[in-house]
Amino acid sequence: MMLLSPLSALCVLAAVAFAVPAQEKRVHHHADLSDHVHDDAHGFQYDHEAFLGKEEAKTFDQLTPEESKDRLSKIVERIDIDKDGYITHSELHYWIKHRQRRYIEENVNKHWRDYDKNQDDKISWEEYKNTTYGYYLGEEFDDVDDKDTYKSMLTRDERRFKNADRDSDGIATREEFTAFLHPEEFDYMRDVVVQETMDDIDKNGDGKVNIEEYIGDMYTPEPGESEPDWVQTERKQFSEYRDTNKDGYLDAAEVAQWVLPGEVDHADNEAKHLIHETDTDKDEKMTKKEILANWNMFVGSQATNYGEDLTRKHDEL
């Protein structure tokens, strides 16, 4: 990811600050729901990982069919938020999105205790600042080789924290702290992602990105080296696609289109797919009975994996 992680140690942060990131890492793509091909004719592994999350899907693969169906029944009750006995598209969409965000939640949980020093289940800016920069603050970074870098990173962190802190009380809830650590996942943090990208690339500080700044972010030529073909392709990308108003620069709006592209909502598509395949009475929602009747599309088991293995071996013959 392009954004510099506030969780790294200061020495690591400095190293990251000087590294030239690969261009493709500037762009925040939403990961697909599974690494498997979505082809129901050859198995439901994609659906399993989309519905359960990758790690949980592995757990189900070790269960008997009866155990899998029993756990699925309990999951259905959790998905049914309004407890009306039906799983709607919005409920299933929310569930799938939640399962795919678990890696983010795990990352936040991993570091939560490091910053929540008074254990009040909140993290204030002072707690974060003192934990991350405390040793250096008293000396104004005088004993750091590149104190300007650390000062700019402190300023950057504070701006990001204030933007994540929606009620502006100087204290981050777990959701706000998640937005602080992973701003690319939150619509209201888009401006921060764009601003940090501009800060990194706009070397002359004129508030826009020219072609040399754009290329310089991803490629530094060696003396006497001719420009590779991929760099020529990037120059073409800049002039023909990125620079939409053809003024020779990328402004903030054009940078936003580049690093935060509008994309297909994979969770939305998967929710529609599962309902279409399961909703036998075609009322556009699912009952627990309908889901359990089609259980092997939602979750795996020892038996379904054995069947999929046989299918794969047959295809390979």
Tell me, yes or no, whether 267 lies in a domain.
yes
Tell me, yes or no, whether 8 lies in a domain.
no
Over residues 69-79, mean pLDDT: 97
Length of the chain (residues): 317
| Helix axes of 45-52 and 89-100: crossing angle, nearest 10 degrees | 90
| Interval 100-132: pLDDT, tens | 787 788 888 888 888 988 889 999 999 999 888
Residue 286: strand pairing partners = 87
Tell me, yes or no, whether 69 lies in a domain.
yes
Tell me, yes or no, whether 108 lies in a domain.
yes
Q: Any idea which of 17-31, 91-105, 149-163, 246-260 has the lowest mean pLDDT?
A: 17-31
**Coil, helix or strand at residue 317:** coil
First to last CA, the chain: 41
Tell me, yes or no, whether 195 lies in a domain.
yes
Tell me, yes or no, whether 156 lies in a domain.
yes
Tell me, yes or no, whether 10 lies in a domain.
no
CA distances from 106 to 21, 111, 179 (A): 25, 9, 14
Instruction: Specify whether the backbone of 144 is left (phi greater than 0), alpha (psi in -120 to 50) or beta.
Output: beta
pLDDT band (50, 70, 90) for residue 150: confident
Tell me, yes or no, whether 288 lies in a domain.
yes
Domain with 163, as residue range(s), is 64-208+251-303
Which has the closest alpha carbon to 209: 195, 193, 198? 198
**How many domains does the chain divide into?**
1
pLDDT band (50, 70, 90) for residue 316: very low
